[in-house]
Chain A
Amino acid sequence: MSRAPSTQSRHLLEVKDLRTHFFTRNGVAKAVDGVSFSLDRGQTLGLVGESGSGKTVTLMSIVRLIPKPAGRIVSGEVLLEGRDLLKLSDRDMREVRGAEISVVTQDPMTSLNPLYTIGNQMEEPLRYHQHIRSHSELRSHVLDALKKVGIPVPERRMKSYPHQLSGGQRQRIVTAMAIECQPSLLIADEPTTALDVTVQIQILRLLREVQKEMNLGMIVVTHDLAVVARVCDVVAVMYAGRIVEKAPIVEMFEKPSHPYTQALMKAVEGERDATGRLYTIEGQPPDVRRLSPGCPFAPRCPKVMDICRGEYPPVASLSSQHTVSCWAAMKENGIEHIGLAPGVAS
């Protein structure tokens, strides 16, 4: 799907051919290897994948928080409203983080400072990014943000310490902190994984409401398709550092085309065979330090063909917004391989 490079940016965020590699003693781990996607304001993208698929590294590359020196963004572009974040100085990037892009992480206990009150730490981004100095103004901003995320009695909560709050409330506080500087892009990394199931729905609902109300672009990284089904407009499934399938949410659930996506769907639905055994995907996810030239899912794939082992499939369009990288899916949908270099072989 190589479109002519559009110089005028219509998208809020455009990630082009991002590659982030980790240089370790045991070889180069291609954690993210050629990821491209775009996101508009008011849209929520789900990045789904298992551990090691590169979903978190993709996010951390967008905000440039890759652990150095092992990790390095080796190529690609991350355009936020047309500006390439990868070309910014560290200082300029700090201005972007927390102001234009905010991150909600998995564990609200570790993302809050245990030694400061909620009010205290919520004022910090306002001081830093919006240069607000007056106490009463800071306070009213914080109270507004707390009210927006449904914290009861915010005046009292401002004086609490993180350990005095429950997990769900902490996640609400972290969300309040993320939106108080009016960002345009909100990134949530496994926002509900650490929470109880009955609390998860409440937090997902909050994220959805905040995103709609502020017309944010949102990226939700998760291993859980149920989370995606509840809040996302578009889903991208990652495997071994690449996006293997991307589609609008309903289309993805109705017509999953990559064998890996199909397998994930069966797994979450708890599908069983005639003997009552659960459907499984055999084998293990691959080691991204030792990838063969072919499709990395080939060793586990029920539809594997000869070509899969030798050559990584190109990105094929199944509909205007549905793309897949799979030789078998191309064959099933009657898409010819037009001998062109796939552009992703490396």
Chain B
Amino acid sequence: MTIQDRTRPATPPASAVITIEAVSKVYPVRGGVLKAVDNVSLSIPRGKTVGVVGESGCGKTTLSRLVLRMEPPTEGRVLFGGRDVWKLGRSERKGFHRGVAAVFQDPYSSLNPRHRVSQIVLEPVRVNMGRESGGLSRVRLNDLLRSVGLPEAAAGLYPHEFSGGQRQRIAIARAISLSPDLVVLDEPVSALDVSIRAQILNLLKDLQQQIGGAYLFIAHDLAAVRHMSDEIAVMYLGAVVEYAPVQAIYNAPKHPYTQGLLAASLPPDPRRPNLDATIFGEIPSPIDPPSGCRFRTRCPIAVAHCAEERPPLRERGDGHLVACHLAD
């Protein structure tokens, strides 16, 4: 196990809705262990969004599962409102589930096909408020549908009667039904058509202003998170390699991996059809990660030293953290 420099993102955890403290998640697998999340720390204050970006196998989905309390961390703590989510009592746990919601990538598999929209959207209300919910729900349902841009008539329909974008609106209505403090958005627009994506991103942003919740926004490329995020964490093979305010990531990315991701998500220009990849090959197996810097096998600027010592995530001014020996 590497002991990393525990430099933390600038936000003080006290004001944060959610704080992840040096969290690791290790799964035993045949032939060793898989370190899916490796010593990640971040925190999100009210009304703010942290984007987590990385390719398949980088640990972003495991991270979201840790935040949602679907898995206990192997090391470190996840704090919700300052309390360790695995040390909550029964009633506090209810409070946690009321306060945290999620929207997933696939609006086809995340909605029960045999439930009407009204049931789907109000299920969190029913489960968490019990009998109190009764009379409230009709009004609340119409409010929710209106706030995600669906007609009231949608309430009586089934998911298959909607397009992908509309289904995602249903999933969002469900997520915000209890005005959560934190919404985990796991690739919420990746499965949608280009012309629909912007609608959903605008909607999410508007809703955040209304309910004031914190967002953890997970994506596989930098294009989608740009509009939403205040700060961005770039992950590679389980660890954060760069963490910075959104402008810094886009205007002055310091880690070679971030630079490569950014080049891949630039707006298209047919006059300069850039096919020169700066990052070669593919992500190595997380069961047997490279020595030293995990990224060195694909890095365009790696030197011998990178194989020997793992670069710590270090602050390079203005809340810009980078884990690279060669970045300055």
Contacts and interface: CB of A to CB of B under 8 A. Distances in A.
B261 A198 contact: yes
A223 B283 contact: no
A226 B276 CA distance: 14
Interface stretch (A59-67, A96-104, A277-285, A313-321): A277-285
B55 A230 contact: no
A299 interface: no
B165 interface: yes
B275 A226 contact: no
A253 interface: yes
A197 B264 CA distance: 6
Interface string B81-113: 000000000000000000000000000000000
A226 B263 CA distance: 12
Contact of A270 (B56, B227, B273, B279): B227
A32 B209 CA distance: 42
B194 A204 contact: no
A251 to B, nearest CB: 9
Nearest to B261: A197
B282 A249 contact: no
A263 B260 contact: no
Nearest to A277: B202
A7 B267 CA distance: 42
Q: Which among A197, A200, A278 has the highest number of chain B CB atoms within 10 Å?
A: A197
B271 interface: yes
A282 B264 CA distance: 27
Contacts of B201: 278
B85 to A, nearest CB: 31
A249 B55 contact: no
B118 interface: no
Interface string A115-145: 0000000000000000000000000000000
A263 B223 contact: no
Contacts of B195: 50, 263-264, 267, 280-281, 285
Contacts of A333: none
A111 interface: no
B164 interface: yes
Interface string A235-256: 0000000000000011011000
A267 B227 contact: no
Interface in B34-55: 55
A197 B225 CA distance: 14
B193 interface: yes
Interface residues of A, number: 44
Contacts of B196: 50, 281, 284
Contacts of A205: 275-277
The interface size bin for chain B is 35 or more
Contacts of A201: 264, 274-277
B264 A50 contact: no
B282 A169 contact: yes
Contacts of A154: none
B55 A198 contact: yes
Nearest to B166: A284
Contact of A250 (B221, B227, B267, B271): B271
Contacts of A167: 56, 282
Contacts of A208: 275
A167 B55 CA distance: 12
Interface string B242-272: 0000000000000000001100110111110
B226 interface: yes
Contacts of A264: 194-195
Contacts of B55: 196-199
A224 B192 CA distance: 12
A50 B269 contact: no
A268 interface: yes
Contacts of A269: 267
A230 B268 CA distance: 8
Contacts of A252: 270
Interface string A81-124: 00000000000000000000000000000000000000000000
A295 to B, nearest CB: 16
Interface in A271-295: 272, 277-282, 284-285
Nearest to B226: A270
A253 B265 contact: no
Contacts of B221: 197
Contacts of A282: 199
A202 interface: yes
B277 A225 contact: no
Nearest to B269: A229
30 contacts: A50-B193, A51-B193, A169-B282, A196-B282, A197-B264, A198-B282, A201-B274, A201-B275, A201-B276, A202-B280, A205-B276, A205-B277, A228-B270, A229-B268, A229-B269, A229-B273, A230-B268, A230-B275, A250-B271, A252-B270, A253-B270, A263-B195, A264-B195, A268-B267, A269-B267, A270-B226, A277-B205, A280-B202, A282-B199, A285-B195
Interface of A: 50-51, 166-169, 196-202, 204-205, 208, 223-226, 228-232, 249-250, 252-253, 263-264, 267-270, 272, 277-282, 284-285
Nearest 3 pairs of A and B residues by beta carbon: A229-B268, A196-B55, A278-B198
Given A50-B195, A229-B273, 5 more contacts: A226-B267, A252-B270, A253-B269, A270-B226, A285-B195
